[in-house]
């Protein structure tokens, strides 16, 4: 683990270059043990980055980080870890390393990111309360950023209704920002968790929060913008979600309300789908009524299917799933899986739901 943490401590090595290095050397340890000429031979890995890798300074910094996370029972999730969030891994700029403390499953079947303005009105807070109450029977994990306004309202209402909720932070796990949300954060560790890509001693600087927002956008099935001004983190998160081909939803507001101008803009520019209540959201996401039971097809009814196709059907008998979830469970590469899913769809055996989930017909 020291080498995996060390890779994230190299200044010039970002998410993309980290993955390039791992493609060539397979493990983080092999990266640090690589020869200079082998590193320089890789396109995009220049002399400066090579010198930083070979200096060993990143490994010294990683030792202090490792001691802290072991003492505080924080889980490091490297990009190759099976518990690394699969939805986030599909994003091209996903962090190579995450730090996580909590109880929620980051690969839970249903995950929803809820974001909004820091200047939340009573209207926005009431929407958060109604949302949490409606989501309670649906076994959902709610993700947000622990910021003032809509973020913390979403976390608190989730906790109130026993919904696991994960806060994605723009700083290290050696602090909580804003400090007034510390009690909420502590409660989230019992039913949810705290997640960050930032090492200890990382302060909550302004530039960290757009980076934090890409995790919020990438880790869930969809992003819901409750209230938003025309400028701010909520619209950045919505834009990132769109770039990851994730669904974005928002509540409309009055045209002269500052805190609804961002939501109305998202609707006007087709960057988000309009919803007027939680039922709209559930229908769009294909999250069925938990009281209803599905009548499932039996694989035996399809004698001409391949072994791989039957395996996919068995997975979907459990419930709807994202294509990356199906790929992981069936141990199939994306290119092969895409062909199989298309064939099953053409046969009328499976269908695609909003939120890019698949279900048996």
Confidence of residue 290 (pLDDT cuts 50, 70, 90): low
Residue 58 maps to a domain? yes
Q: What is the mean pLDDT of residues 157-175?
A: 96
**Intra-chain end-to-end CA distance of the chain, in Å:** 44
Measured distance CA(89)–CA(105) in Å, rounded: 15
In this structure, the strands spanning 141-144 and 165-168 are parallel
Residue 104 maps to a domain? no
Query: Max alpha carbon distance in the chain (Å)?
Result: 62
Could you tell me the residue range of the domain that residue 125 belongs to?
A: 111-285
For residue 298, pLDDT beyond 50: no
Range with top average pLDDT, 36-45, 161-170, 202-211:
161-170
For residue 319, pLDDT beyond 90: no
Same domain, 355 and 239: no
For residue 155, pLDDT beyond 60: yes
Same domain, 53 and 136: no
Instruction: Give pLDDT, residue 58.
Output: 79
Lowest mean pLDDT among 48-52, 156-160, 202-206: 48-52
Q: What is the mean pLDDT of residues 272-288?
A: 86
Q: What is the mean pLDDT of residues 221-236?
A: 94
pTM given for the model: 0.76
Asked, as a colleague might, if the bond just before 178 is cis with ω within 30 of 0, I would say: yes
Measured distance CA(361)–CA(358) in Å, rounded: 9
**Coil vs helix vs strand at 271:** coil
pLDDT digit string, tens, across residues 172-213: 999 999 999 999 999 999 999 999 999 988 999 988 999 999
Q: What is the mean pLDDT of residues 49-70?
A: 85
Instruction: Give pLDDT, residue 295.
Output: 44
Helix axes 261-268, 233-243, angle to 10 degrees: 20
Confidence of residue 252 (pLDDT cuts 50, 70, 90): very high
Residue 102 maps to a domain? no
Measured distance CA(195)–CA(74) in Å, rounded: 10
Measured distance CA(140)–CA(257) in Å, rounded: 30
């004698």: which residue's tokens? Answer: 303
Same domain, 219 and 139: yes
Residue 83 maps to a domain? no
């Amino acid at each position: 683990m020291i080498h995996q943490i060390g890779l994230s401590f190299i200044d010039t090595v970002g998410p993309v270059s980290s993955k390039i290095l791992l493609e060539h050397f397979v493990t983080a340890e092999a990266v640090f043990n690589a020869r200079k000429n082998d590193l320089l031979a890789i396109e995009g890995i220049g002399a400066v980055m090579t010198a930083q890798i070979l200096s060993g300074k990143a490994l010294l910094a990683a030792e202090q980080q490792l001691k802290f996370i072991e003492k505080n029972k924080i889980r490091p999730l490297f990009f190759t870890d099976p518990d690394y969030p699969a939805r986030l891994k599909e994003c091209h700029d996903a962090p190579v390393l995450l730090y996580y403390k909590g109880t929620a499953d980051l690969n839970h079947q249903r995950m929803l990111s809820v974001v909004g303005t820091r200047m939340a009105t009573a209207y926005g807070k009431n929407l958060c309360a109604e949302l949490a109450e409606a989501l309670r029977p649906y076994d959902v994990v709610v993700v947000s950023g622990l910021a003032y306004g809509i973020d913390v309202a979403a976390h608190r209402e989730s906790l109130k209704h026993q919904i696991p909720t994960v806060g994605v932070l723009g700083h290290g796990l050696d602090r909580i920002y804003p400090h007034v949300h510390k009690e909420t954060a502590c409660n989230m560790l019992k039913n949810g968790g705290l997640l960050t890509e930032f090492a200890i001693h990382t302060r909550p600087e302004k530039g960290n929060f757009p980076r934090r927002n890409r995790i919020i956008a990438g880790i869930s099935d969809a992003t819901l913008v409750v209230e938003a001004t025309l400028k701010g983190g909520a619209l950045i998160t919505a834009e990132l979600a769109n770039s990851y081909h994730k669904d974005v939803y928002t509540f409309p507001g009055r045209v002269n309300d500052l805190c609804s101008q961002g939501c109305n803009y998202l609707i006007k520019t087709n960057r988000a789908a309009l919803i007027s209540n939680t039922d709209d959201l559930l229908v769009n996401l294909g999250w069925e009524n938990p009281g209803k039971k599905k009548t499932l097809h039996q694989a035996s009814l399809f004698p001409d299917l391949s072994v791989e196709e039957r395996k996919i059907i068995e997975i979907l008998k459990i419930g709807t799933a994202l294509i990356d979830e199906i790929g992981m469970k069936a141990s199939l590469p994306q290119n092969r899986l895409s062909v199989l899913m298309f064939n099953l769809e053409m046969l009328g055996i499976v269908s695609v739901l909003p939120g890019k989930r698949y279900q048996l017909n």
